[in-house]
Amino acid sequence: MKVILVGATKGIGRAVARRLASRGASMSLLGRDKAELERSARDLEARGAAGRVVTALCDMADPDTFDAALASADADLDGFDTVVVTAAAFATQERLEAEPALLRRLLDTNFTNTILFCEAARKSLLSHGGGTLCVVSSVAGERGRKPVVLYGASKAGLSAYLEGLDHKFRPQGLVTVCVKPGFVTTSMTEGLPAPPLAGTPEAVAARIVRAIDRGTPVVYAPGIWALVMFVIRLLPRTVMRRVGF
């Protein structure tokens, strides 16, 4: 595999990078912090990565960096067949309601800019004959819920985009994988109380890599969230207004 990975310096992205490196994948790690990218690359090499590991600057807050980052990765890897996007922003509903600037940054990062990056990646993959585009969304986008109105809206839009992408371009060779984690114990959720079904980056990464291998269009992580969200989708609005979930 020749993989471009956005978000490999922490959490789920780091766990995915380590798992892919252990299988011999060559990777280009994209991110906005050069020092962190280099540390992540050296970490993979120290763990015995058999494939090549390179880095390129790419800021999900700045779409003007996307094309150059993809071109750099393409040149360094001599082509690529897989793109994995785990980078995202998160903040509590209370903070987002109170801080309009933070809300705008989150919406731009999770929805507009992620889609712009995916569009650039899609075009590049299809120009090479196809490949896999795997993007981390969230169960928060499954249905409007009081604790995650704004964050959930950003992920709902992303999930809908990825589903449409899969419908339209899979016949042309583009396999789209939408990952929907529940609560995962990472730096992004640090300080928040972990619910009973909380997952770990390593467990989520295992499901992501398996979904990439199989071309699974939608994967929940941990898997129990598929059942949880099936039930949530069936609840009438009158019930959803009364519960705090």
177 neighbors 219 (Cβ within 8 angstroms): yes
* CB-count burial class (<10 Å; 0-12, 13-18, 19+) for 80: buried
Give whole-number Cα distances, 169 to 86, 120, 144, 161, in Å.
Answer: 21, 14, 28, 12
C-alpha closest to that of 60 among 130, 142, 158, 147 = 158
- In angstroms, the CA 87 to CA 130 distance is 22
Q: Which of 152, 165, 78, 157 is nearest to 118 (CA)?
A: 165
Assess whether the previous peptide bond of 222 is cis (omega < 30° from 0): yes
Asked if 151 is an active-site residue, the reply is: yes
The rounded distance, in Å, linking the Cα atoms of 198 and 9 is: 21
- Could you say which of 80, 111, 117, 151 is catalytic? 151
Q: What CA–CA distance (Å, rounded) separates 72 from 81?
A: 14
CA-based nearest residue to 40, from 8, 11, 69: 8
Cα–Cα distance for residue pair 232/220, rounded to 1 Å: 14
3-state secondary structure at position 57: strand
Q: Which residues are catalytic?
A: 151
